[in-house]
Structure 1
Amino acid sequence: MGSSQESTFSSASTAAQVNALDLLPVYAKELIAGGAAGAFAKTAVAPLERVKILLQTRTEGFQSLGIVRSLRKLWQYEGIRGFYKGNGASVLRIVPYAALHYMTYEQYRCWILNNAPSVGTGPVVDLLAGSAAGGTAVLCTYPLDLARTKLAYQVSNVAQPGNSLGNSGHQPVYNGVKDVFKTVYKEGGARSLYRGIGPTLIGILPYAGLKFYIYEDLKSRVPEDYKRSVVLKLSCGALAGLFGQTLTYPLDVVRRQMQVQNKQPQNVNDTFRIRGTFQGLLLIIRCQGWRQLFAGLSLNYVKVVPSVAIGFTTYDMMKNLLGVPPRERAHPSAGNK
């Protein structure tokens, strides 16, 4: 009798847990799964992201180093923790960013389909919806990206604690995201939290749109029997990401240099100050050479593929755990992300 009651109680508890998950709308489950996937993928490639930022901002001692030598130098000066400096801000940013990006993508896509039938239902809709969603997500999370860049930019010398290699002691040492926000706000108010937002928006609008456009277009060319293949989806996503980032990467370099230029040596500020996106592109080409516009791009290629792979795998696992139905059945008009 007791055993029967325990079995009944256990079954009731399991049913309650299942019902609690079922109460969540599908988009909420997808946001949870996407946020977890984004955070895990970002953390996995954090060391490569740190090196990429150091190359983009021409931090002293890292300009001419390759990936392996840069990682060794970071290990020498800061140890294992140096690989993940700024990753906290990156994770804090990627969770709401991914949530907003995909949620608003679906909303914009539905709005376009319902209000602009002349656009059609093909990948062009994904181009427009993805661009708008990318801009929305950036506007809402940009201060966190600024904090991530500033934390990743400072490289402390172990032999001289508190000093930054790239700035000969001129740059203050930030102790975390909150400290960055306080310091930046004191320097120029709320507006300074959005320094570099111009090239970011100009870069994210075509990148986010192209990413969705290319991914959906490639996926539409896949034979029906292989449309559910995770490996094939991964390949389409990786190609879309690589192609989109190559076209918009110079704008990312301008953005990074704008974010950190006020913390560089005074003589550099006098002769090299980026005031706008296109002016920044021309200034970098004239003073640093056109190759600087693609500094760290090869490293970006190296980190994009594993990041996409890890993100897809984690996302699928989380969807299975949360009981998310296939998007084709849940939202027949929305298409796959």
Structure 2
Amino acid sequence: MGTSQGSTLSTTNVAEYVEGSSPRRDVSFVDYLPSYAKELIAGGAAGAFAKTAVAPLERIKILLQTRTVGYHSLGVYQSLKKVLKEEGYLGFYKGNGASVLRIVPYAALHFMTYEQYRCWILNNYSALGTGPVVDLLAGSAAGGTAVLCTYPLDLARTKLAYQVTGSKATSSSLTQPSYHGIKDVFKTVYKEGGVRALYRGVGPTLIGILPYAGLKFYIYEELKRRVPEEHQKSVMLRLSCGALAGLFGQTLTYPLDVVRRQMQVQSLQSSIEQGGPGYRGTMEGLTTIVRNQGWRQLFAGLSINYLKVVPSVAIGFTAYDVMKSWLRVPPRQMSSKSVS
């Protein structure tokens, strides 16, 4: 995107890209925005909408991953009932503000840097061709860049979602740190350990996101290439390819996500549990979890991920498509010619 795609599109050309639109359209503010800016806005909005839609499942997943007292032995349905009973409907969205605040810049950076890295690879390493290998490399680099820029927000989301309320929630709730919002999390965590504390667990996150982001783009593009060209513009096709790519990537990298979550909350757990986890690295976290909690814990909450990935992808694609039409963004197939 960006320099690889050019800037403002003329009103007539933009209208031709939008299905069912008239070739004549009044010029508006959005017509003066660069194409990459429109796609960043569309992607950020779609990501925020999709995240909010699956927030209840995301909250339960974190509670299961971090073995929160009162939830670690429950299933998905019983955990949902428990949150509803003790915290009400708003309990399903605890930490969602931080999640949405993170996903907007994350999605924007991920998409923009993916296009920039892809363009750079094509320009400097033409021997790699234009196939899925380029998507694998560009997607991995873009995922790492987006994570480094937005990780503190993910940390805040996890700490807020980790908190539970109710007299039976924990046996030592009085000693458990209480956060009152994103700003409070940043302030408290920074006082505890400075900038380094804001990036607790970033190691397994990067190790997980590099293959996941790369595989997601790789599988998605490879699946699309195996479909007849006349069907490649289908929203349902993109939805199916994206869902399969997401599910496959999640399964391979999910244990690293569990280690990340436990590292993010380990300062909380260590203060309320005797001998709480104190992982100093990704491999130590993996081996300690397997030894003390069993290998099944590495996949705790994975079923929720399966349940939320498909609707999340579906909602994300639909919202993104609507936003692109409203912002008059040309199809990626047309714009990618200048990138390739």
Same fold (TM over 0.5): yes
Alignment of 1:51-66 (within 5 A): 51-66=60-75
Structure 1 pair 94/114, CA: closer, same or farther in 2 (3 Å)?
same
Q: Distance in 1 between matches of 2:61 and 2:133?
A: 32
Whether the 8 Å CA contact 2:40–2:108 is kept in 1: the answer is yes
1:261 aligns with 2:266: yes
Aligned length: 316
Letter matched to residue 79 of structure 1: G
Q: Distance in 1 between matches of 2:225 and 2:66?
A: 39
User: Which residue number in structure 1 is paired with residue 118 of structure 2?
Assistant: 109
Whether the 8 Å CA contact 1:199–1:252 is kept in 2: the answer is yes
Cα distance, 1:307 vs structure 2: 0.1
List runs of 5+ in structure 2 lacking aligned partners.
Answer: 1-24
Structure 1 pair 271/72, CA: closer, same or farther in 2 (3 Å)?
closer
User: Which residue number in structure 2 is paired with residue 323 of structure 1?
Assistant: 328
Task: Report which stretch shifted further, 165-174 or 116-125.
Answer: 165-174
The structure having more radius of gyration, on CA atoms, is 1
Structure 1 pair 72/232, CA: closer, same or farther in 2 (3 Å)?
same
Whether the 8 Å CA contact 2:136–2:218 is kept in 1: the answer is yes
Q: Distance in 1 between matches of 2:317 and 2:76?
A: 25
Among 82, 95, 101, the alignment partner of 1:86 is 95
Among 23, 45, 50, the alignment partner of 1:41 is 50
Q: Distance in 2 between matches of 1:200 and 1:265?
A: 21
Structure 1 pair 88/139, CA: closer, same or farther in 2 (3 Å)?
same
Structure 1 pair 267/43, CA: closer, same or farther in 2 (3 Å)?
closer
Whether the 8 Å CA contact 1:154–1:166 is kept in 2: the answer is no
Q: Distance in 2 between matches of 1:265 and 1:191?
A: 18
User: Which residue number in structure 2 is paired with residue 99 of structure 1?
Assistant: 108
Instruction: Spell out, residue by residue over 1:87-126, the C-alpha distance to the aligned partner (whole angstroms, 9 max, x if none).
Output: 0000000000000000000000000000011211100000
1:147 aligns with 2:151: no
Cα distance, 1:168 vs structure 2: 3.4
Letter matched to residue 280 of structure 2: R
Letter matched to residue 321 of structure 1: W
DSSP 3-state at the match of 2:275: helix
1:289 aligns with 2:294: yes
Cα distance, 1:268 vs structure 2: 3.8
Whether the 8 Å CA contact 1:167–1:264 is kept in 2: the answer is no
User: Which residue number in structure 2 is paired with residue 73 of structure 1?
Assistant: 82
TM-score by length of 2: 0.90
User: Which residue number in structure 2 is paired with residue 137 of structure 1?
Assistant: 146
TM-score by length of 1: 0.91
- Identity rate, percent: 74
Task: Report which stretch shifted further, 280-289 or 19-28.
Answer: 19-28
Whether the 8 Å CA contact 1:167–1:263 is kept in 2: the answer is no
Instruction: Spell out, residue by residue over 1:220-278, the C-alpha distance to the aligned partner (whole angstroms, 9 max, x if none).
Output: 00112211111111000000000000000000000000000111154746363211001
Q: Distance in 2 between matches of 1:272 and 1:194?
A: 17
DSSP 3-state at the match of 1:222: coil
Whether the 8 Å CA contact 1:251–1:277 is kept in 2: the answer is yes
List runs of 5+ in structure 1 lacking aligned partners.
Answer: 1-13
Among 24, 28, 46, the alignment partner of 1:19 is 28
1:188 aligns with 2:193: yes
Among 211, 218, 221, the alignment partner of 1:216 is 221
Cα distance, 1:137 vs structure 2: 0.2
Letter matched to residue 61 of structure 1: G
User: Which residue number in structure 1 is paired with residue 175 of structure 2?
Assistant: 170
